[in-house]
Structure 1
Amino acid sequence: MPFENMSPDARLAVAAAQAGAAVVRGMYGTTQAKYGKGGGDFATAADLEAERTIVDLIRTARPDDAVTGEESGRSGGDGTDRMWLVDPLCGTLNYAADTTLVAVNVALRVGSAVTAAASADPFAGEVFWTDGEGARVRRDGHDRDLVPSPASNLVDVHLDPPFPNAPGFRAAGLLGDAAFMERFRPRVVCTSLAVAWVAAGRRAAYVTDGHLNDSVHFTSGIALCRAAGCVVTGIRGQPLHTGPGGLVAAADHGTHAALLSIIGNQGKRGG
């Protein structure tokens, strides 16, 4: 689907992600207040300003829709089945440490289906997008299809809590697993931008624990991977958002099967 022919909702998701990315990029490297959220987590002024910018844009274009923002929670749209999920700065710890590995995520769920999603990289000038069917990356006004590939053998592993399936599964355990190291090479980016990279062929897979239904962090990346043709399941190979939860997003069936085997053996050893 060419950019100019995408659905109005997908166009709005892209515009909103790009607007948030512009805020994140513009505030990078400045001294910012931190707002604690408990458990060592915090938001920066850039998180808050990017979310305000994104939500205002969505509210103007779709006043009857509901919006859930990471920082502001749910607002509007009582009784609607249209929910926008907004993660204004995924990788806040990276950003606060002057590291540019971050993403801005915007997705629209209509009923049970994600019909539009965008994940913007503020510093590479890229926005990965899907209209629920095809998946593409837009850069410098040009779009390319996202084509998954296992060729890199790089698997990104998310290490931040919570870990609801421990001790039977610990994402950190993959990093030192002999079978994992024999086949793959680990990467720990600590931003959901890496999920989009699976769809783009820059990662062979992505693995995380957790219950991710309606996650502002992961919904966009999951939608991109599905639209690009990746293999996407929970950590035990079950349908996503069922059973133990978690996410294994892999470029192909071979990579997916290998990771499930390694994860299954970890469970037998008790983590």
Structure 2
Amino acid sequence: MLIKDEDVAITAAQAGAAVVRTMYGASLTRFEKSGGDFATAADLEAEKVILDVLGSTRPQDAVTGEESGRTGASAAERMWLVDPLCGTLNYAVRTMLVGVNVALRAGSTVTAAASADPFADEVFWTDGTRAYVRRDGVDEQLRPSAESVLVDVNLDPPFPNAPEFRAVRLLADAGFVERFRPRVVSSSLALAWVAAGRRAAYVTDGDMRDSVHFAAGIALCRAAGCVVTGIQGQPVHTGAGGLIAAADQETHAALLALVEQQRKG
């Protein structure tokens, strides 16, 4: 029986999440990377089990993992993007705000994705058409909402659009403060929360092309019906890059205006 791509994504993300949950609170070896970034033993082990799932179910596909890089045929049309533990610094200091992201890009489109929360035991997933959250084996369709007025702002580097735009400046902008309430989760799990109606929007700088961190969350938001663009309102993966994912057009327009005002100012 053929296993659907979305089921592969869910299984892989849940396998990674199980590792993250099991290793939580242990004394973990850190593996230093560039720019002060690091991975833990949990990142590496979670990625290993995810790759095992993908290798056993989709052996012909290529994979890009945050820790292991690219593997598989260089000309493969299908590429899995894997972030085994998004929020490593949170995790390393015993803060339960992390996500496990698995996404499949077929051609130029992400056609299946899953983002698992190891500690809430939830997995947000999409088949590229609609988006759901699975709890206790039951799927509930995601419905974005701006009612919370909570906007998650990613303050982690890199900042390719600085100094014209810095996400941190939104936090002190009078227009932002008047309309929204900021949150800084420091995990792309918050992007799944936009799709689920738990956040009004998510804003980040950075290059979104084949991003292991953001591919799953972007796919979830799109499938749920959010407004998703680059930081200047352009299509994602083009131009200046960055990301504004909002629950509705009104919220997106307000954030885009604040970004534009910052760039001009």
TM-score (norm 2): 0.98
Select 1:63's aligned residue among 59, 82, 86.
Answer: 59
Q: Any idea what SS the aligned residue of 1:39 has?
A: helix
- Residues 225-261 of structure 1 show CA distances to partners (whole Å, capped at 9, x for unaligned) of 0000000001111111111010000000000000011
1:116-127 aligned at under 5 Å gives the runs: 116-127=112-123
Could you say which residue in structure 2 is the equivalent of 1:207? 203
Matched, 1:129 2:133: no
Could you say which residue in structure 1 is the equivalent of 2:171? 175
Structure 2 distance, partners of 1:77, 1:140, is 36
Q: Any idea what SS the aligned residue of 2:217 has?
A: helix
Could you say which residue in structure 1 is the equivalent of 2:253? 257
1:1-271 aligned at under 5 Å gives the runs: 8-269=4-265
Amino acid at match of 1:50: A
Could you say which residue in structure 2 is the equivalent of 1:3? none
- Residues 85-139 of structure 1 show CA distances to partners (whole Å, capped at 9, x for unaligned) of 0000000000000000000000000000111000000000000000000100000
- Residues 61-86 of structure 1 show CA distances to partners (whole Å, capped at 9, x for unaligned) of 11111000000000012321000000
Structure 2 distance, partners of 1:262, 1:60, is 47
1:229–1:74: structure 2 CA closer, same or farther, 3 Å change rule? Answer: same
Structure 2 distance, partners of 1:95, 1:266, is 33
- Residues 190-211 of structure 1 show CA distances to partners (whole Å, capped at 9, x for unaligned) of 0000000000000000000011
Does the 8 Å contact 1:14/1:117 carry over to 2?
Answer: yes
Structure 2 distance, partners of 1:168, 1:84, is 33
Amino acid at match of 1:239: P
Q: How many Å apart are 1:38 and its aligned residue?
A: 1.8
Unaligned runs of 5+ residues in structure 2 are none
Q: How many Å apart are 1:7 and its aligned residue?
A: 6.7
Structure 1 distance, partners of 2:245, 2:86, is 18
Does the 8 Å contact 1:7/1:131 carry over to 2?
Answer: no
Unaligned runs of 5+ residues in structure 1 are 1-5
Q: Any idea what SS the aligned residue of 1:13 has?
A: helix
Structure 1 distance, partners of 2:74, 2:230, is 30
Does the 8 Å contact 1:82/1:110 carry over to 2?
Answer: yes
TM-score (norm 1): 0.96
Paired residues, what number? 264
Q: Aligned-residue CA RMSD in angstroms?
A: 0.9
Structure 1 distance, partners of 2:52, 2:251, is 41
